[in-house]
């Protein structure tokens, strides 16, 4: 779900040639790129699709997989319900996703403000508390088979992004010029790269590997 430019879909499909894969993406530019790059992979089909309204028959899939896409939804109940419908009984929804920490409400105003800023610069309108999100999943009919906080595993990448961001912000004159000519979304991502290591280290946000099983 939300296959983007198809890097993960291609990786998985090429290593499992006897299994059929279906990727969906809402951004036409990304979808066209994926379709072009994967046209020789016979077991992978990509098509336009919104995970708030999955246009597939009920109980069609054994597995549904997402990587950093459902965080962009403001309606987790709808997404989880749609996934639940298209999975077979016993099927699994596998996620690698960022969340607000379970103790988010107890954070200081400054910490919360920093967390909100990171979410906005990553295109997330409203982040989700991990415990509340899992409770919604259970209410819909999923069993939480796995919920691992793997934040430490992504820290090397976050530290690398932070170092790049620091170099950018140190060169104020050049940064102002780049701000005028570069994509505003890229500038926003730079802000996120600057702040995210602190957010993880202070327990404001987490990165989780989750497996939900349809009951």
Fold of 50-214: Rossmann fold (3.40.50)
The pLDDT value recorded for residue 172 is 64
The pLDDT value recorded for residue 124 is 93
- Give the pLDDT band of residue 192 (cuts 50, 70, 90): confident
Percentage of the chain lying above the pLDDT 70 cut: 91
Predicted TM-score (pTM) of the model is: 0.89
The pLDDT value recorded for residue 177 is 58
Q: Name the residue with tokens 């708030």.
A: 52
The per-residue pLDDT of the chain, averaged, comes to: 91
Do residues 95 and 70 make contact, with C-beta atoms less than 8 angstroms apart?
Answer: yes
- Once rounded to an integer, what is the mean pLDDT over residues 115-120? 91
Cα-only R_g, the chain: 19
Angstrom distance (rounded) from CA 62 to CA 45: 16
For the segment 6-34, what is each residue's pLDDT rounded down to a tens digit?
999 999 999 999 999 999 999 999 999 99
The pLDDT value recorded for residue 5 is 94
For the segment 44-100, what is each residue's pLDDT rounded down to a tens digit?
999 999 999 999 999 999 999 999 999 999 999 999 999 999 999 999 999 999 999
- Confidence check: pLDDT of 168 > 90: no
Which residues does residue 201 pair with via DSSP β-bridges, in sequence order? none
């Amino acid at each position: 779900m939300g296959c983007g430019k198809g890097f993960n879909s291609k990786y998985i499909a090429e290593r499992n040639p006897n299994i059929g894969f279906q990727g969906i993406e809402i951004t036409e530019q990304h979808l066209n790129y994926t379709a072009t790059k994967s046209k020789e992979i016979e077991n992978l089909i990509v098509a336009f699709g919104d995970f708030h309204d999955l246009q597939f028959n009920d109980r069609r899939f054994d597995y549904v997989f997402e990587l950093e896409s459902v965080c962009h939804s403001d309606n987790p109940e709808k997404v989880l319900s749609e996934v639940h419908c298209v999975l077979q009984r016993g099927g699994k929804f596998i996620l690698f996703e960022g969340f607000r920490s379970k103790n988010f409400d107890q954070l200081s105003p400054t910490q919360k403000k920093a967390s909100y800023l990171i979410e906005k610069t990553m295109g997330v309108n409203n982040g989700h508390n991990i415990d509340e999100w899992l409770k919604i999943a259970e209410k819909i009919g999923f069993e939480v088979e796995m919920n691992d906080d793997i934040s430490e595993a992504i820290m090397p990448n976050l530290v690398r992004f932070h170092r790049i961001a620091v170099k950018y912000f140190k060169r104020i004159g050049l940064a102002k010029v780049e701000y005028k000519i570069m994509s505003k979304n890229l500038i926003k991502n730079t802000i996120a790269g600057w702040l995210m290591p602190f957010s993880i280290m202070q327990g404001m946000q987490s990165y989780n590997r989750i497996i939900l099983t349809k009951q």
